[in-house]
């Protein structure tokens, strides 16, 4: 009960606040960031793009999303993305440690914030974005699945990765469409609203590629949550 | 630690792998270049492996603190797998990871007749310490070199390193800070031009070099195991060596079973001093600087409640008077603060005295440049945290500590700070002031430490004044 807790990121001891709740419920402070670290995160608030959550001066749809929406192939593929923070230097370092050094449990430091944002999303199934076999071996875990775990969601494996053949074996036409990396699995998702999770929203391309395959398999709406919006 | 090992079946092994892996213990992911041939070396008994992590201990960094382990669903072993978070910046070690070690034929170095090409001359007291160090190399023993700041510690090591290299031994010079490693690298490369030297720190390019002589931050030693016949640990009292058991672990792990160990410090911990006193640790003590002038003794100066002064946007009188004098005579100065926050808040007050005054701290990306501009007299002085307590040599420098009563200013920190003053032979004196709001044991101990060393130097006739 009196075990010291430490910030999940900077490892300094957390200020102990002994409340009745903490006395009765025990170690509530596990996997948390300290106040100093939280202050270095820049939450996305106020006006932003209605689709991708990019902070901007007016409500409405940002230019990038407009371009996606103008293309019939991509129109409506992603209904809404919610991101927690802007991708500042601090978050860059934190995410690098999570994804590239492979510090799996860091994502659980965002649990509270993720669950809060999750309440804003209507969905039936949570689908992780699959990694290539090589990448999965290298990293040891799937960062999208870990995010779903942090939100206490059961993953539905409705997507798999296309086997990546050697580039040289492919025709030019095939190389252009190389980005089509996902395939549907046997899971029945018809008529369901889907939630995706990724660590960072950069161009929105990964989420839309995944979303399109799911929509083609009969999914209704695709929403997504990311930690960072770059 | 148990090493898993297959019986040796002779085959033409890879000498590149032998050179790379000798003295190291590396996970699979750090052997990328050797993946195609690794399995063959394992089944033939040339490479063995040990568990990366077992029984609550990381076998790379020695971490045993429960909050520095994590659990993850591991796609490699398919189970919930524990991993070490302490050394994760070097890549992750999991419970299912293996640390590979070379178990094939021993790597022999070509014998070098006279590896040391250094034409400098040691002072009689340096020479005496050097003899002791050579003796420690020959007899595989442990030695503490306790030399005051500015005694010329690095030069004392040259002959001992030469002795080890000459007899085909592998040597490591470990220092706690990257700054120190960067400073030592070129000096040793110049002294030992024919020797393969690897200079290791976070992000260094030499990471894959073997090095018969390795100059490394203590962190980088995590990758080594059973490697060095001579281990020299510089600034053994300095952060982050003391107080971090895993760095001690790394230093021990990377030594060979029969090996020599030399500790270097200007300010040994009380534990080291006690061991010397009891006679269980052999020591070479150098109480005087190479230029044979005594070390400036700090002046204690009461400056009242300086935190309150800063809150009222004023600099304590004693301090501003000290500063005004330095500014008047263009004497470069360092003013040490107990923490970054107070320093940041106080900077504008100091910039009223001189607009070019700057501050530095550990995470300051321009630290090197700022210190350089002080050296070149482009700025009159710097406010600093204890980050500059070591390794800074600036001619004519004078120093002061503000809030000397704060616990961060230990005896050793204060002796080091005082050691910044009067280092050059041309300007062997200078003022060092401890401004305080109440005397502490630590500051009194620091003063008596310096006085004792000066007295000892006088007694041994090492001072010329």
The tens digit of pLDDT for each residue in A12-45 reads: 888 765 555 555 555 445 678 999 999 999 999 8
* Interface confidence (ipTM) of the complex: 0.89
Q: Is the pLDDT of residue A1 over 50?
A: no
CA–CA distance, B463 with B465 (Å, rounded to integer): 6
Structure tokens at B255: 């030594």
For residue A13, the Cα-to-chain-centroid distance in whole angstroms is 28
Residue B422 gets which letter from DSSP?
T
3 state SS of B82? strand
Q: Model confidence at A191, in pLDDT bands (50, 70, 90)?
A: very high
The predicted structure's pLDDT at residue A227: 97
* CB-CB under 8 Å, B72 with A105: yes
In the predicted structure, residue B166 carries a pLDDT above the cut 50: yes
The torsion region of residue B186 among left (phi > 0), alpha (psi -120 to 50) and beta comes to alpha
Q: Which CATH number describes the domain made up of A47-229?
A: 3.40.50
B29 shares contact with chain A (CB less than 8 Å): yes
Contacts 24+ apart (CB under 8 A), B29-38: B29/A138, B29/B91, B30/B91, B30/B223, B31/B100, B38/B100
B85 interfacial to chain A (CB closer than 8 Å):
yes
A36 touches chain B (CB under 8 A): no
Give dist(CA B438, CA B441) in Å, integer.
10
A97 Cβ under 8 Å from any chain B Cβ: yes
**CA–CA separation, B394 and B330 (whole Å):** 13
Model pLDDT for residues B10-54, shown as the tens digit of each residue: 999 999 999 999 999 999 999 999 999 999 999 999 999 999 999
Q: What is the mean pLDDT of chain A?
A: 88
pLDDT per residue over B322-345, tens digit each? 999 999 999 999 999 999 999 999
B32 contact residues in A (CB cutoff 8 A): none
Among candidate residues A3, A1, A26, the one with its CA nearest the CA of residue A14: A3
Model confidence pLDDT, tens digit, residues B400-457: 999 999 999 999 899 999 999 999 889 999 999 999 999 999 999 999 999 999 999 9
pLDDT of residue A26: 52
Q: In the structure, what pLDDT confidence band is assigned to residue B391 with cuts at 50, 70 and 90?
A: confident
H or E stretch covering B219:
none
Q: Confidence band (pLDDT; 50, 70, 90) for A173?
A: low
Q: Of the spans A18-22, B1-5, B195-199, which averages the highest pLDDT?
A: B195-199
Averaged pLDDT for residues B393-400: 93
Tokens of A173: 């036409």
DSSP string of B359-420, one letter each residue:
EE-TT-TTHHHHHHHHHTTSSSEEEE-GGGGSS---TT-EEEEESTTSTTS-HHHHHHHHTT
> Where does the pLDDT of residue A176 fall: very low under 50, low under 70, confident under 90, or very high at 90 and above?
very low
Contact B178, B202 (CB under 8 A): yes
Contact B83 A102 (CB under 8 A): yes
- Cα A37 to chain centroid distance, Å, stands at 20
- Domain boundaries defined on chain A: 1-40, 47-229
What is residue B456's predicted lDDT score, i.e. its pLDDT? Answer: 92
Q: Determine, for residues A104 and B88 on separate chains, whether the beta-carbon distance falls below 8 Å.
A: no
B27 contacts in A (CB within 8 Å)?
none
How is chain B split among helix, strand and coil, in percent rounded to 5?
A: 35, 20, 40
Paired tokens of B256: 């060979």
Is B29–A11 a contact, with Cβ atoms under 8 angstroms apart?
Answer: no
* pLDDT at A180 (0 to 100): 73
Contacts across the A-B interface (CB distance below 8 Å): 46
Give all domains of chain B, ordered by start, each with its CATH number.
Answer: 15-102 (no CATH), 124-286 (3.40.50.300), 299-459 (3.40.50.300)
Chain A residues whose beta carbon lies within 8 Å of the beta carbon of residue B67: 4-6, 11
Asked if pLDDT for residue B318 goes beyond 90, the answer is yes
Q: Find all residues with CB under 8 Å of B427, minimum gap 6, and list them.
A: B395, B396
Strands B282-286 and B142-147: parallel
Predicted local distance difference test score (pLDDT) of residue B7: 92
Helices (H) and strands (E) in chain A, counts: 9, 6
Q: Which of A4, A105, A141 sits opposite B75 (nearest CB)?
A: A141
Q: Which residues contact B264 (CB under 8 A, 6 or more apart)?
A: B144, B145, B147, B153, B157, B232, B233, B234, B235, B236
Per-residue pLDDT for A89 more than 70? yes
Mean of per-residue pLDDT scores for chain B: 93
Check pLDDT > 70 for residue B243: no
What are the φ/ψ torsions at residue A85 (nearest 5 degrees)?
Answer: -135, 155
* Chain B hits for A16, Cβ within 8 Å: none
CB spacing of A101 vs B88 below 8 angstroms: yes
What value does the mean pLDDT take over residues B75-82? Answer: 96
| Beta carbons of B74 and A141 less than 8 Å apart | yes
* pLDDT tens column, A119-169: 999 999 999 999 999 999 999 999 999 999 999 999 999 999 987 655 455
In this structure, which long-range contacts are made by residues A19-22, counting pairs with CB atoms below 8 Å and at least 24 apart in sequence?
none
Question: Over the stretch B205-232, which tens digit does the pLDDT of each residue have?
Answer: 898 899 999 999 988 999 999 999 999 9
In Å, how far is B92's CA from the nearest CA of chain A? Answer: 6
Residue A52, pLDDT score: 95
Local confidence band at B272 (pLDDT 50, 70, 90 cut-offs)? confident
Does residue B238 register a pLDDT over 70?
Answer: no
pLDDT of residue A171: 61
Per-residue pLDDT averaged across B376-393, rounded? 90
Asked if B72 is an interface residue toward chain A (Cβ–Cβ < 8 A), one would say yes
What are the start-end ranges of the E strands in B201-356? 213-217, 228-233, 255-265, 282-286, 299-302, 333-336
- Chain A partners of B85 at a C-beta cutoff of 8 Å? 103, 105
Check pLDDT > 70 for residue A170.
no
**Is any Cβ of chain B less than 8 angstroms from the Cβ of A67?**
no
**What Å distances lie between residue B201 and B29, B32, B84, B177, CA to CA?**
19, 20, 20, 9
The rounded distance, in Å, linking the Cα atoms of A129 and A222 is 13
Answer for the pair B241, B269: CB distance below 8 angstroms, yes or no.
no
């Amino acid at each position: 009960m009196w075990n010291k807790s430490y910030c999940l990121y900077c490892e300094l001891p957390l200020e102990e606040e002994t409340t009745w709740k903490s006395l009765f419920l025990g170690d509530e402070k596990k996997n948390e960031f300290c106040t100093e670290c939280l202050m270095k995160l820049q939450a996305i608030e106020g006006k932003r793009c209605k689709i991708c959550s990019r902070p901007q001066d007016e409500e409405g749809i940002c230019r990038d999303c407009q371009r996606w929406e103008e293309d019939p192939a991509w129109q409506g593929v992603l209904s809404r993305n919610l991101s927690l923070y802007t991708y500042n230097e601090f978050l860059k370092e934190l995410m690098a440690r999570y994804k590239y050094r492979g510090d799996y449990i860091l994502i659980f430091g965002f649990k509270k914030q993720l669950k809060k944002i999750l309440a804003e999303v209507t969905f039936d199934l949570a689908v992780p974005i699959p990694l290539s076999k090589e990448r999965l071996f290298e990293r040891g875990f799937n960062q999208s699945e870990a995010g779903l775990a942090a939100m206490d969601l059961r993953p539905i494996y409705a997507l798999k990765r296309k086997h990546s053949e050697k580039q040289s074996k492919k025709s030019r036409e095939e190389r252009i469409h190389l980005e089509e990396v996902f395939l549907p699995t046997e899971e029945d998702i018809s008529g369901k609203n889907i939630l995706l999770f990724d660590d960072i929203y950069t161009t929105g391309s990964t989420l839309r590629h995944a979303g399109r395959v799911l929509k083609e398999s009969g999914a209704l709406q695709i929403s997504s949550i990311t930690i960072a919006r770059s | 630690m148990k090493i898993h090992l297959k019986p040796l079946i002779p085959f033409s092994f890879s000498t590149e792998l032998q050179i790379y892996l000798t003295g190291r213990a590396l996970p699979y992911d750090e052997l990328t270049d050797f993946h195609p041939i690794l399995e063959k070396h394992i089944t033939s008994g040339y490479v063995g492996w040990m568990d990366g992590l077992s029984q609550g201990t990381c076998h790379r960094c020695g971490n045993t603190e429960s909050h520095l382990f994590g659990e993850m669903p591991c796609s490699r072993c398919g189970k919930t797998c524990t991993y070490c978070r302490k050394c994760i910046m070097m890549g992750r070690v999991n419970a299912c990871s293996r640390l590979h070690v070379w178990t094939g034929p021993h790597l022999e170095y070509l014998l070098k007749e006279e590896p040391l090409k250094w034409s400098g001359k040691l002072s009689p007291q340096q020479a005496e310490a050097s003899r002791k160090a050579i003796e420690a190399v020959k007899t595989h023993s442990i030695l503490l070199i306790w030399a005051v700041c500015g005694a010329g510690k690095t030069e004392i090591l040259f002959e001992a390193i030469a002795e080890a290299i000459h007899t085909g031994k592998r040597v490591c010079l470990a220092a706690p800070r990257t700054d120190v490693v960067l400073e030592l690298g070129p000096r040793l490369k110049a002294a030992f031009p024919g020797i393969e030297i690897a200079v290791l720190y976070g992000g260094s390019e030499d990471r894959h070099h073997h090095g018969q002589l390795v100059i490394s931050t203590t962190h980088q030693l995590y990758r080594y195991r059973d490697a060095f016949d001579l281990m020299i640990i510089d600034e053994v009292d300095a952060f982050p060596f003391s107080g971090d058991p895993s760095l001690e672990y790394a230093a021990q792990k990377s030594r060979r079973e029969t090996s020599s160990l030399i500790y270097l410090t200007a300010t040994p911990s009380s534990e080291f001093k006690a061991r010397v006193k009891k006679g269980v640790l052999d020591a070479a003590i150098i109480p005087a600087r190479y230029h044979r002038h005594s070390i400036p003794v700090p002046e204690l100066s009461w400056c009242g409640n300086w935190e309150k002064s800063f809150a009222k946007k004023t600099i304590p009188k004693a301090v501003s008077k000290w500063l005004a004098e330095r500014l008047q005579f263009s004497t470069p100065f360092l003013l040490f603060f107990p923490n970054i926050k107070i320093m940041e808040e106080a900077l504008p007050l100091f910039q009223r005295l001189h607009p070019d005054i700057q501050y530095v701290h550990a995470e300051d990306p321009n630290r090197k440049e700022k210190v350089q501009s002080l050296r070149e007299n482009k700025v009159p002085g710097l406010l600093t945290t204890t980050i500059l307590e070591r390794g800074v040599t600036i001619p004519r420098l004078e120093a002061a500590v503000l809030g000397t009563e704060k616990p961060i200013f230990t005896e050793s920190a204060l002796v080091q700070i005082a050691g910044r003053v009067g280092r050059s032979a041309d300007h062997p004196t200078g003022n060092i002031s401890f401004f305080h709001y109440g005397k502490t044991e630590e500051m009194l101990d620091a003063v008596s430490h310096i006085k004792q060393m000066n007295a000892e130097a006088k007694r041994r006739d090492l001072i010329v004044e």
